[in-house]
């Protein structure tokens, strides 16, 4: 059995994964793009060794932050684990939807080794190439940089995308205002737990990796270290970007996967766990 626990940041996915892993004697596979990296612990709310409760966890802390790790890499790693542990119950947990879908669906990637700058093409030619790659592409014809970046992304051929592995998709959700309050508090807790020091340790090494330049919680503090914004502004920006990310997560999962959503009871999380377990029982009967 493969169970996928998804949803926005800060809604209790990790906690549920542990409870279900104990119930079903399962292993856990990370599908959070930033928890792949070593040292990015506080800012990604990475599970601690104590919180793992002895349950085998995979695809956490497998790359240094200066090593690029793509969706294509994730697909290979995740499928290797799926094959190795095909007789076990497996739980995917995280909010990076494309990572999860690449592992379980027939996503086909072409590994790209070089970056094409397309100097020989006009904006109109770039635009037409981008439309050929994805007819729903909505980049403006005059935005040459974005067009080139789009064309250099990993190519996929997924017009007929279907599941390779049977899985059930469980989404955790809550009222938007409650979620945003939890996100704001979570950021404050991260600051108190040492996020500034964690981010500064990377900044002082002058690490300019893609992971650190895109990860919420680090890129904002780097601006503070640069002196371009105040610490208060950096913290508010982390909160704002985290809330916006949660919105995007909802949109992606609702459009891309058949999710069974559960409203989390934060005052009695056990009741949410029992509700999910009942759904899994019904799913397995069908």
Model pLDDT for residues 155-170, shown as the tens digit of each residue: 444 455 788 999 999 9
Q: Write the secondary structure of 91-102 as one string of H (helix), E (strand) and C (coil).
A: EEECCCHHHHHH
> Does the structure show a pLDDT above 90 at 183?
yes
Q: Identify the three-state secondary structure at position 105.
A: strand
Neighbouring-strand partners of residue 173: 263
Domain 2-109+158-285 has CATH 3.40.50.300: yes
In the block, which residue shows the tokens 């799926």?
A: 82
pLDDT of 55-94, one tens digit each? 999 999 999 999 989 999 999 999 999 999 998 999 999 9
> Does the structure show a pLDDT above 90 at 207?
no
Sorting pLDDT into bands at 50, 70 and 90, what band is 112?
very low
pLDDT of 222-267, one tens digit each? 999 999 999 999 999 999 999 999 999 999 999 888 999 999 999 9
The structure's pTM equals: 0.81
Give the pLDDT confidence score for residue 193 in this predicted structure: 97
Indicate if the alpha-carbon torsion angle 186, 191, 196, 197 is positive or negative: negative
> Does the structure show a pLDDT above 80 at 286?
no
Residue from 38, 28, 24 nearest 58 by CA: 28
Residue from 264, 226, 220, 228 nearest 245 by CA: 220
Phi, psi angle pair for 2, to nearest 5°: -115, 120
The angle subtended at Cα 214 by Cα 209 and Cα 217, nearest 5°, is 110
Residue from 170, 178, 153, 168 nearest 246 by CA: 178
Question: CB atoms < 10 A from the CB of 171, how many?
Answer: 21
228 CB-contact burial (10 Å; exposed 0-12 / middle 13-18 / buried 19+): exposed
Give the pLDDT confidence score for residue 114 in this predicted structure: 53
């Amino acid at each position: 059995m493969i169970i996928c626990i998804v949803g926005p940041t800060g809604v209790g996915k990790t906690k549920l994964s542990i409870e279900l892993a104990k119930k079903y004697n399962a292993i856990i596979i990370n599908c959070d793009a930033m928890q792949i990296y070593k040292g990015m612990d506080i800012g990604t709310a990475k599970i601690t060794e104590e919180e793992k409760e002895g349950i085998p966890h995979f695809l956490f802390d497998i790359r240094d932050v200066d090593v690029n790790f793509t969706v294509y890499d994730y697909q290979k790693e995740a499928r290797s684990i799926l094959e190795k542990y095909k007789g076990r119950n497996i739980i995917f947990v995280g909010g990076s939807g494309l990572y999860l879908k690449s592992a379980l669906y027939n996503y086909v990637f072409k590994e790209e080794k070089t970056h094409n700058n397309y100097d020989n093409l006009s904006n109109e030619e770039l635009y037409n190439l981008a439309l050929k790659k994805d007819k729903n592409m909505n980049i403006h014809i005059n935005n040459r940089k974005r067009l080139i970046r789009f064309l250099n992304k990993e190519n996929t051929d997924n017009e007929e995308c279907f599941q390779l592995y049977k899985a059930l998709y469980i989404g955790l959700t809550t009222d938007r205002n409650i979620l945003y309050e939890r996100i704001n508090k979570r950021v404050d807790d991260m600051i108190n737990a040492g996020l500034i020091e964690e981010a500064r340790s990377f900044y002082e090494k002058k690490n300019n990796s893609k992971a650190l330049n895109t990860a919420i919680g680090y890129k904002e503090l780097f601006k503070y270290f640069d002196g371009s914004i105040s610490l208060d502004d950096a913290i508010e920006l982390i909160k704002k970007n985290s809330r916006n990310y949660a919105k995007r997560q909802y949109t992606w999962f609702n459009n891309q996967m058949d999710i069974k959503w559960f409203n989390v009871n934060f005052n009695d999380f056990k009741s949410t766990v029992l509700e999910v377990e009942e759904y899994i029982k019904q799913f397995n009967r069908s």
